[in-house]
Amino acid sequence: MIPYPKLERTQFKALHNIKSSISRQSWEKTLLNQTPVTPQKTIIFHAGSKHHIELEANYTIGYVDFILARPESPASTLHITYFERYEDTPTKLPYLRSKSNRLDTSKQLIDPSDTYTFHGLLYSSSTLHYDSHEQTREIYTPFYTRTFRLLALHITICTSSSLTLHTIKITNTH
């Protein structure tokens, strides 16, 4: 019989290539060095804004939970790219890929991605009750495990309401 995987919380250890009106310090306070004892910080993305950040963790095979306050309006998007390395531009996509220094942040990101569109309060009454706070929080968790060392987030906020990020949880399955 296949044993149930050992689930272990892990966290991000560095931030790279931030393109955002939000300061590096605010990102760090919210996403790095999270402990149950320290009060949780949040990041507020203002209506009509765009943000890009790359997050480094240890090599992970596991689940990622994006926990945000449920926005008033739908249509903000979160685009996530999961990757194991930064790469040189391939000579022929997708097969001839070059992987020299895996953490050279001046290189390119080429790997699978997900896009999530926030539903907002419009759908809060029809939630599936997976979480006791669904009326006030919107949580995106991909259905399957992901393999990554780095995550790139591109967040686009709709023009009619802001969005608040509470945290991003990583659960390693090994």
Question: 164-174, pLDDT tens digit by residue?
Answer: 999 999 999 97
Question: Would you say residue 9 has pLDDT above 80?
Answer: yes
Mean pLDDT of 16-39: 85
Q: What is the pLDDT of residue 67?
A: 92
Pairing of strands 77-83, 113-117: antiparallel
Question: Would you say residue 63 has pLDDT above 80?
Answer: yes
Which has more pLDDT, 122 or 148? 148
pTM of the model: 0.83
Mean pLDDT of 149-170: 94
